[in-house]
Structure 1
Amino acid sequence: MSSVPENLPSRISEVDRDMTVERLQEAFAEGHIPQEEMDARLHVALTAQTPGELTSALASLPASDEGPTVVVDSVGGLIQRRGGWHVPQVFRVTSKMGKVYLDLSRAVIKHPVVDIELHLDYGWAWIVVPSDATVDHEGLTASWKQPAYKAPLRGGSSGPRIRISGNMGYGRLRIRHRRS
C-alpha cells in the first residue's frame, strides 16, 4: 500500500508555465497591465504549483486568441468529452434528443472563463467541473426541471469560471465539482 495520498492536486508542466508567462508578457506589451501588476503576476506564475494558481495569474486579462466557437450538433445519441481534452473558450452544444456528458475536471483549460452554451430539447446533460472552479448557470433557461447544482462548502474560487447558458426543454442538467 502506498503512503502517497491519491487525490493530490494536479501539477503543472513547464510548458503550461511558459505559456502563462508568455501571455503575461503579451498583456503587458499590449498595455493591459502596469509594471507593478506584471511583476506580481509573474511571481505567481513562476511559483505556481497547480493549474488553479496559473489561472489566477491570468485572471481578468483579455484572451489573446479566443479562437472559434466550437459547435457540436446532434439529433440523438451521446455527446461526450472527458479526460485531457482541450476546453475551448466558447463551447456550444445542441442536441434534440440525446445525452451530453462534459467532464472538465481533468481537461486542459487555458482560459480563466469558459462559456458553455447548451441547447437541449429532450435528454439530459451532466457537467463535471474542476474542484477549484466557480460555476454560474444563471444564463440557462430550463422549461421543465431546474439545474441540479450545489456549490462546494469550501474553495471554488481559484480556478476557472464556468458560465453555462442556453435553454433546456424536457431535460435535466446536473453539475458537480470533481471530488478532491
Structure 2
Amino acid sequence: MTTVSDLDRERAVELVQQAYADGRLSPAELELRLEQALTATSSHELEPAVAGLPDEWVRLESIGGRITRTGDWNVPRRLRIDSEYGKVKLDLSQAHIPYAQVEIELCLTYGGATIILPAGASADADGLRTEWGRVTCQASRRSAGGPHVRITGKMPYGRLAVRTARK
C-alpha cells in the first residue's frame, strides 16, 4: 500500500470537481468523493474517490519527427508527449484553453521542446526530471488571470524552453 502525496490528492480533487461540473455526479456524491480524496492516506483509500471517473490523457507520439501545435487548437487538460529523437513545439499563445490548469507530461529522450504560453499564463517545470538536459523557464510561477501549465515527465538528454509569447 503506497502513501498518497499532496499532488495525488490534488489530482483526485480536480477529477471529482470536473466530473461534477460535467454533470456526472450529484451534489451528495461530490461531497462524499471530495471527503474521500482529501482524507486519503494511501492509494487504496484514494481509489473510491476517483472510481469510474475519466482521467484521459491525450497522447502524441513520434520517434524522430517533429510534434508541432500552433495557431488555434484545443489544448487538452492532460497532454502526454513521447518522442525519442524529435523536437516538440507547443504554442499555446493563440490556442483555446478551457481549463485553469493544464498538465503536460514530456517523455523526450534526446529531443528538445519549446512551450510558448499566452499572456497572463503561468508555468512550473518542477516535476520534470533531467540528467544531462537543461530546463529554461522564463514564465511566471504565479498566474495573472490565465491558465497555469504544470510540466512533468523526463528528459534525460533533452532541453526544454518555456516562455511567454512575444509581441
TM-score, normalisation: structure 1: 0.61
In 2, are the aligned partners of 1:140 and 1:167 still within 8 Å (CA)? yes
Which of residues 100, 109, 114 is equivalent to 1:121? 109
Classify the secondary structure of the residue corresponding to 1:87.
coil
Counterparts of 1:30-179 in structure 2 under 5 Å?
30=27, 68-152=56-140, 156-179=143-166
Structure 2 vs 1, CA of residues 95 and 161 (structure 1 numbering), >3 Å: closer, same or farther?
A: same
Q: Distance in 2 between matches of 1:151 and 1:178?
A: 10
Q: Pairwise CA RMSD of aligned residues?
A: 2.8
Task: Find runs of 4+ consecutive structure 1 residues off by over 4 angstroms.
Answer: 23-26
Q: Which structure shows the higher strand fraction?
A: 1
Classify the secondary structure of the residue corresponding to 1:98.
coil
Cα distance, 1:170 vs structure 2 = 1.2
Q: Distance in 2 between matches of 1:25 and 1:173?
A: 34
TM-score, normalisation: structure 2: 0.66
Listed as ranges, the gaps of 5+ residues in structure 1 are 1-22, 33-64
In 1, are the aligned partners of 2:122 and 2:140 still within 8 Å (CA)? no
- Give percent identity, aligned residues only: 40
Q: Distance in 2 between matches of 1:115 and 1:148?
A: 18
Listed as ranges, the gaps of 5+ residues in structure 2 are 1-19, 31-52
Cα distance, 1:171 vs structure 2 = 1.3
Structure 2 vs 1, CA of residues 73 and 156 (structure 1 numbering), >3 Å: closer, same or farther?
A: same
In 2, are the aligned partners of 1:66 and 1:89 still within 8 Å (CA)? no
Q: Distance in 1 between matches of 2:86 and 2:162?
A: 17
Structure 2 vs 1, CA of residues 152 and 162 (structure 1 numbering), >3 Å: closer, same or farther?
A: closer
Structure 2 vs 1, CA of residues 25 and 103 (structure 1 numbering), >3 Å: closer, same or farther?
A: closer
